[in-house]
Amino acid sequence: MVRNFLFHRVNPERDKLWDPMDVALFERCIQYISKKYTVVLIEDIAFSDERFTKNKYATIMFDDGYKDNIQYAAPILKKYNCKASFYVVTDCIDNNIPTWTHVLDYSFQHTNVSEIDLSFDFLPDEFKVNNIPTAEKRIAYGSRLKPYLKKITHEKRGLVLDQIARSYNDIKVPELMMNWDDIKELSAAGHYIGSHTVTHCMLGTMSDETEIKHELLNSANRIQEKLGYFPLTISYPIGSYNDTTKRLSKELGYKIGLAVNQNIYDPAIEDLFEISRIELYNEPWWKTRLRISNALENIKSLIKYK
Ligand SMILES: [Zn+2]
């Protein structure tokens, strides 16, 4: 059994819409995890029988490739002698632009433009607008829109995102990503670098196989170009995948596919292309500790509270 712990941003600065994990909480997590489990890389144990050892192993993973990973998280990993895996979105790294979910949050939070024509036929009435007059209303709208956008097809999502980018043209998105030198430094320190696609697309919502292949292959090729190896691992953005995703990932040369479903990875029942991960958030320590021991999800399913 392997507990795969997933982190994103680790930062002392707070964010109203998508709060990074606080640095002190991150340190507490790593201290606790490294004391309780043997911390390994999934890339080192995925193919060995060691992964079957009961309740002993943990991995530390980061999705997206934020600069704060090397700034704040890496020194703490070093302090506790832990190696981690970092799954990067290659277009975000190449252009120093955060993922579309982050840009979406940021746009609604920072634009001063009130006119926006979101009148697409496919949008439910509650999302059809042509003007959102105040900052407060834009933030509220953005936080309702994001979960909806995660459920629709890739094509429809693209139309909405393009329209938002065109309308909120007063936004300059913040430069928050690592560059390839940062990534090389992590790799040289013994951490693993894998793929998180080219554009952070939701693979399980895409139907065009050429487009899926582009996301899977071009991100891997870019990593190969920069680091000299074809990555073993694809981490599916927003945990979105289906049978086509798994098949194409395998065909194109990946060996491991990472999901996000808040469970301990049990090699006896999960295949290598849907490995479970437990995401940790910026929450009070007691909640985080329960997530680490995986008790919070069990309690939730028992009392059906969500
Ligand atoms: Zn991601």
Distance 133 CA to ligand 1 centre (A): 31
Q: How many CA atoms lie within 13 A of 243 on its CB side?
A: 0
Structure tokens at 145: 């829109």
The DSSP symbol for 10 reads B
Distance 18 CA to ligand 1 centre (A): 12
Distance 66 CA to ligand 1 centre (A): 10
Distance CA 275, CA 256 (A): 8
Distance 238 CA to ligand 1 centre (A): 6
Contact, 192 vs 82, CB < 8 A? no
Distance 233 CA to ligand 1 centre (A): 14
- Count CB neighbours of 106 within 10 A: 21
> Residues near 48 by Cβ (< 8 Å), separated by ≥ 6?
none
Contact, 46 vs 71, CB < 8 A? no
Structure tokens at 185: 């430094």
pLDDT digits (tens, 9 = 90+) for 46-77: 888 877 777 789 999 999 999 999 999 999 99
Distance 87 CA to ligand 1 centre (A): 8
Q: What is the model's pLDDT at position 301?
A: 66
| CATH class of the region 2-97+176-303 | alpha beta
Q: What is the model's pLDDT at position 18?
A: 79
* Domain residue limits, the chain: 2-97+176-303, 100-167
- The predicted model gives 24-29 an average pLDDT of 98
Distance 209 CA to ligand 1 centre (A): 21
pLDDT digits (tens, 9 = 90+) for 171-209: 998 899 999 999 999 999 999 999 999 999 999 999 999
Bridge partners of residue 257, in order along the sequence: 234
Residue 305: pLDDT above 60? no
Q: What is the model's pLDDT at position 306?
A: 45
Q: How many helices (H) and strands (E) does the chain have?
A: 13, 10
Distance CA 246, CA 258 (A): 10
Residue 16: pLDDT above 80? no
Distance 91 CA to ligand 1 centre (A): 13
Region of residue 134 (phi > 0: left; psi between -120 and 50: alpha; otherwise: beta): beta
155's enclosing H/E stretch is: helix 154-167
Structure tokens at 93: 């790294």
- The predicted model gives 270-284 an average pLDDT of 95
What is the greatest pairwise CA distance in the chain? Answer: 59
Q: What is the model's pLDDT at position 208?
A: 93
Distance CA 26, CA 288 (A): 10
Residue from 190, 231, 15 nearest 108 by CA? 15
Distance 41 CA to ligand 1 centre (A): 19
Residue from 172, 173, 175, 177 nearest 68 by CA? 177
Distance 23 CA to ligand 1 centre (A): 19
pLDDT digits (tens, 9 = 90+) for 76-124: 999 999 999 999 999 999 999 999 999 999 999 999 999 999 999 999 9
The DSSP symbol for 72 reads I
Distance 293 CA to ligand 1 centre (A): 23
Residue 222: pLDDT above 90? yes
Residues of the chain above pLDDT 90, percent: 84
Q: What is the model's pLDDT at position 141?
A: 96
> Residues near 119 by Cβ (< 8 Å), separated by ≥ 6?
128, 129, 130
Distance 197 CA to ligand 1 centre (A): 9
Task: Read off the pTM.
Answer: 0.92
Tell me the residue type at 176: L
What radius of gyration, in Å, describes the C-alpha atoms of the chain?
19
**CB-proximal residues (5 Å) to ion ligand 1:** 63-64, 237
Q: How many CA atoms lie within 13 A of 62 on its CB side?
A: 30
Buried b (16+ CB within 10 A) or exposed e, 131-147: ebeeeeebbebbbebbe
Q: What is the model's pLDDT at position 134?
A: 95
Average pLDDT over the chain, rounded to an integer: 93
